[in-house]
Structure 1
Amino acid sequence: MKKLLGKKVFITGAEQGIGFYAAKDLIESGCDVFIHYFSGTEGPEQLVALAESLGQKAAFGYANLTNKEEANKCIAEAVAFLGGIDILVNNVGGIIARKWLHEIEAEYWQTVIDVNITTMMHVTQAALPYLKEASEGASIVNLASLAGRSGGHAGSLSYSMTKGAVLTWTRSLAAELGEFGIRANAVAPGLILGTRFHNQHTTKASAEETVKGIPLGRAGSSEDVARTITFLASEFDGFISGATIDVNGGVYRM
């Protein structure tokens, strides 16, 4: 998308899976990107090499985004490198573990909230002054989940709750930040195989059973989600705000 040429992106959790392919697609669309990572630099190193091969800028930095000071520091590093932020992609999240209601302890409950929601708050708060300064308006894209729409499978109660909260958080951001020319939207992926999330928490049998209920007859890929993120990112000067795009092959229709 030509209108993304030269836009400055901060993306969280881009070392693998959806985050990696979203950063890749944004780089290939002409963006300069700062890549946050939590575990492993192999993916970010590949993304930096890609950007440099295209004559663009990319860098990466580590942070535990549940810690406000580390989130602030990572955003500061990104702004020093990029010169500002036009697009924020809040991708970090995870199920942590499958636990049924009777198994949930207070520490686990809080960890799921922190990983999926507190990280998003810390990063968005830190990025806000720079998003407000974006000359053509800014775009926030938050990663939710089909689980936030449907309630998810058994054992994902805590995760599904937080992803439902991401949908409401996105709508609230759109209402609050619109006066500053900042759009906020969400993407809700369904079954996306090949990611760390499903490699760790979804069995082959479970995935095959889920695919049977998908009208398009296949699981999604990280690239499917990445293209949607890039579209919403390009809406920094558009009229789409407070929306959620479902990327699930038609299994959830609203």
Structure 2
Amino acid sequence: MGSLSGKKVFITGAEQGIGKATAIELIKAGCDIYIHFFSNEEGPKELVSLATSLGQRAAYGYADLTNEDDTKICVLAAAEFLGGVDILVNNVGGIIARKWLGEIDSQFWKTVIDVNMTTMLNVTQSALPYLKQAPDGASVVNLASLAGRSGGHSGSLAYSTTKGAVLAWTRSLAAELGQYGIRVNAVAPGLILGTRFHNQHTTKESADETISAIPLGRAGTAEDVARVIKFLAAEYDGFVSGATIDINGGIYRM
């Protein structure tokens, strides 16, 4: 596994939760980092302060990643600030709302696809020229979900569909970009409490029921996921590509 010291990271949606925990792990590992945010800049400010205190470079910028032009401007700012991009973490995503089949309209369907897939397309396309130029090879890590493996709980049909697509996107992209020394992998978290996702969309009763079936007997944390992302990020010069690592305490095994 390669050293992360001095590596240049662009991460999306690092205001809170898994994105913020991942940024902290990468900063502590010695990375310089550009943090994308959409809704709140308090988290990015804290991350810049942490990096600065450790003698590393960090900055942040806003973008609506469903918008192609907005994305290009943000990624360009990141590449110019960092002097390139070695590691891309596609963290942005969300369930938007729980809607059952009979409740899903075309606008909701499009919104979920845009938030979970169009953002990934726009960011990865925009970052591709810089990833190709990474001198030691590059690493892309995509955020999928256990819902993309198992189908998720009722009301997550649209979300689960897009997260399943992220798994296929990861495999296909690994095949397509391997010739450039770019490795592409994904993580598929299960129940990760303390994030905005579950704070807004998972009841305590539902969480307790899920935890009762988890072999390790607890929910996951954002830090559990961040450590695995850090490993995959460091595989910029390794042999792991096209893989998805499940982080779910053993509730789903394949």
TM value normalised by structure 2: 0.99
Question: CA–CA distance in 2 between the matches of 1:50 and 1:235?
Answer: 24
Question: CA–CA distance in 2 between the matches of 1:241 and 1:2?
Answer: 14
Question: CA–CA distance in 2 between the matches of 1:165 and 1:43?
Answer: 29
Q: Which residue of 2 aligns with 1:193?
A: 193
SS at match of 2:96: coil
Q: Any conservation in 2 of the 1:14–1:91 contact (CA below 8 Å)? A: yes
Deviation at 1:207, TM superposition (A): 0.3
Q: Any conservation in 1 of the 2:4–2:31 contact (CA below 8 Å)? A: yes
Question: CA–CA distance in 2 between the matches of 1:58 and 1:39?
Answer: 19
One-letter amino acid of the structure 2 residue matched with residue 168 of structure 1: A
SS at match of 2:39: coil
Q: Any conservation in 2 of the 1:148–1:164 contact (CA below 8 Å)? A: yes
Question: CA–CA distance in 2 between the matches of 1:213 and 1:147?
Answer: 16
Q: Any conservation in 2 of the 1:2–1:29 contact (CA below 8 Å)? A: no
- For structure 2, the 5+ residue unaligned runs are none
Q: Kindly provide the CA deviation profile for residues 201-249 of structure 1, in whole angstroms up to 9, marking residues without a partner as x.
A: 0001110000001000000000000000000000000000000000000
Q: Any conservation in 2 of the 1:37–1:44 contact (CA below 8 Å)? A: yes
Segments ≥4 residues shifted beyond 6 Å? none
Q: Any conservation in 1 of the 2:2–2:234 contact (CA below 8 Å)? A: no
One-letter amino acid of the structure 2 residue matched with residue 61 of structure 1: G
Question: CA–CA distance in 2 between the matches of 1:2 and 1:131?
Answer: 16
Say whether residues 1:50 and 2:50 are aligned partners.
yes
SS at match of 1:36: strand
Q: Kindly provide the CA deviation profile for residues 31-59 of structure 1, in whole angstroms up to 9, marking residues without a partner as x.
A: 00000000111100000000000000110
Question: CA–CA distance in 2 between the matches of 1:2 and 1:170?
Answer: 21
- For structure 1, the 5+ residue unaligned runs are none
TM value normalised by structure 1: 0.99
% same residue: 73
Q: Which residue of 2 aligns with 1:24?
A: 24
Question: CA–CA distance in 1 between the matches of 2:204 and 2:81?
Answer: 42
Q: Which residue of 2 aligns with 1:250?
A: 250
Q: Which residue of 1 aligns with 2:98?
A: 98
SS at match of 2:250: coil
One-letter amino acid of the structure 2 residue matched with residue 60 of structure 1: Y
Q: Which residue of 2 aligns with 1:177?
A: 177
Alignment of 1:224-235 (within 5 A): 224-235=224-235
**Cα–Cα, structure 1 residues 185 and 2, in superposed 2: closer, same or farther, change >3 Å?**
closer
Q: Which residue of 1 aligns with 2:78?
A: 78
Deviation at 1:2, TM superposition (A): 6.9
Q: Kindly provide the CA deviation profile for residues 133-157 of structure 1, in whole angstroms up to 9, marking residues without a partner as x.
A: 0000000000000000000000000
Deviation at 1:80, TM superposition (A): 1.1
Say whether residues 1:204 and 2:214 are aligned partners.
no
Q: CA RMSD, aligned part only?
A: 0.7
Q: Which residue of 1 aligns with 2:168?
A: 168
- How many corresponding residue pairs? 254
Question: CA–CA distance in 1 between the matches of 2:37 and 2:30?
Answer: 21
Q: Which residue of 1 aligns with 2:115?
A: 115
Question: CA–CA distance in 2 between the matches of 1:2 and 1:141?
Answer: 15
Question: CA–CA distance in 2 between the matches of 1:245 and 1:77?
Answer: 30
SS at match of 1:3: coil
